[in-house]
């Protein structure tokens, strides 16, 4: 597998980690790709324990009920990407991440082009499961485009760009614990103006709901792997994290993602971009 082979990416199969490890691994892959040490990469993962993540520029106090998170044993972490607050349910949600050079013709330096490029892999993968999916028509300078099924959100996404390399990661809802999500994410307007039933019916859906059956994590990951292969015209042989990435992820977990300064502060941009810049978390996803 050539590091700069545009026709072959690395596939990292479904793993389970805590929130701090997951975010550290995503950034370690990003940095390793910048340094030319690893190829473009597609990765799938889950969060154990369940966790809340917020966008890089969000306020913890406005977005997360930390007391409830603590009571329920739910982790909290700030992402390097933009977007809104997300509740990552260990038993109900699959997360993907893509690290790819912005020089790829389906990515480029344009934010909307890159969202469409990456999300096309998700769309093709989920469509193969038998659902009617489409990318929401949203302005990424205002809000991250979501992936919709029959007008309801099933996947949220966010990006970070650094030195000509894109990291995009996002969620796919297999099922949803709406009660817990509303407890850990602060959204008084939603709670006041809509019932839980209305919220679920009108705004969010899940693969289980749409397919009317229990959908397995590996089934979704396999479908999305094929979807990315088709969308980008690439092969995706299974790979593994390099020693360099493992070591860097360990350092980032301690220095950044396990740090109160990072998680509870308000980090500023430092020569990189994180989109979307003005997130709206009304659906509880990035």
Beta bridge partners of 41: 10, 99
CA distances from 149 to 12, 172, 196, 211, 237 (A): 27, 11, 19, 11, 29
Name, in order, each residue with C-beta under 8 angstroms of 212's C-beta and a sequence gap of 6 or more. none
Annotation says 144 is catalytic: yes
Q: What DSSP character marks residue 254?
A: I
H/E run at residue 169: strand 165-173
With CA atoms as reference, report the closest residue to 154 among 207, 196, 84. 207
Name, in order, each residue with C-beta under 8 angstroms of 59's C-beta and a sequence gap of 6 or more. 266
Catalytic residue among 69, 119, 144, 276: 144
Q: What DSSP character marks residue 224?
A: H
Q: Is 28 helix (H, G, I), strand (E, B) or coil?
A: helix
Asked if 154 and 126 count as a contact pair (C-beta separation under 8 A), the reply is yes
The residues assigned a catalytic role are: 144
């Amino acid at each position: 597998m050539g590091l700069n082979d545009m026709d072959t990416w690395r596939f990292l199969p479904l793993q389970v980690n805590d929130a701090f490890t997951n975010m550290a691994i995503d950034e370690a892959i990003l940095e390793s790709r910048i340094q030319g040490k690893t190829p473009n990469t597609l990765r799938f993962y889950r969060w154990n324990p369940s966790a809340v993540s917020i966008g890089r520029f969000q306020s913890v106090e406005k977005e997360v009920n930390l007391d409830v998170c603590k009571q329920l044993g739910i982790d909290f972490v700030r992402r390097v990407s933009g977007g809104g607050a997300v509740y990552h349910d260990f038993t109900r949600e699959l997360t993907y991440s893509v690290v790819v050079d912005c020089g790829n013709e389906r990515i480029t330096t344009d934010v909307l082009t890159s969202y469409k490029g990456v999300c096309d892999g998700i769309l093709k993968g989920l469509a193969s499961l038998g659902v009617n999916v489409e990318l929401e028509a949203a302005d990424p300078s205002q809000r991250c485009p979501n992936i919709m099924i029959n007008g309801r959100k099933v996947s949220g996404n966010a990006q970070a760009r650094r030195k000509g390399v894109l990291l995009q990661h996002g969620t796919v809802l297999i099922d949803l614990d709406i009660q817990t999500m509303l407890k850990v994410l602060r959204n008084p307007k939603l709670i006041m103006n809509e019932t839980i039933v209305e919220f679920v019916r009108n705004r969010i859906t899940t693969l289980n709901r749409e397919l009317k059956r229990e959908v397995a994590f590996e089934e979704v990951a396999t479908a999305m792997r094929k979807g990315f292969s088709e969308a980008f015209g690439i092969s995706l042989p299974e790979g593994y994290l390099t020693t360099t990435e493992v070591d860097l992820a360990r350092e980032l977990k301690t220095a950044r993602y396990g740090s109160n300064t990072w998680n509870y502060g308000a980090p500023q941009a430092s020569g990189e971009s994180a989109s979307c810049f003005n997130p709206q978390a009304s659906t509880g996803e990035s």
